Amino acid sequence: SVLFFRHSAESRADLITRQITHVLSAAHSKRRGPPEIYEVMKITYMGIEAHDSCDFDISVHFCAAADFIHRALSSGGKVLVHCHVGVSRSATLVLAYLMLKQNLTLVEAICAVKDKRGIIPNRGFLRQLIKLNGQLFGMLH
């Protein structure tokens, strides 16, 4: 399963309780690098230095993030996707995964995620997801 939460990313108890095997951080900082806790706990980590700004091109990370999530889930893993607030960057990457790997339209992906978690991708990210939807499904959806 794919989970995304705000504070669980560095809580050892939460990571253990939720049996997290993989972490995708949309709030990665090259200066800090991945938190040591992941290495100690043998959690596979992928960090994306994404900014929650309407101008930021997060779409360049859609395929790599979707592949990371897909590989983790295919091997029976549990993925935590997080950013600072937990509603824009992380949600955008999960929506892209659902579109690219589960063949959901953007509307279907939003409905699937919204039922489990409040999400608010910023306007720029939403435009990029709409563009992806058009590339995957044509303009009819």
Please list the active-site residues: 83
Task: Report the run of H or E that residue 16 belongs to, with start and end.
Answer: helix 12-17
Residue corresponding to tokens 């659902």: 98
Find all residues with CB under 8 Å of 43, minimum gap 6, and list them.
Answer: 15, 20, 21, 22, 23, 37
User: In angstroms, rounded to a whole number, what is the distance separating the alpha carbons of residues 126 and 20?
Assistant: 28
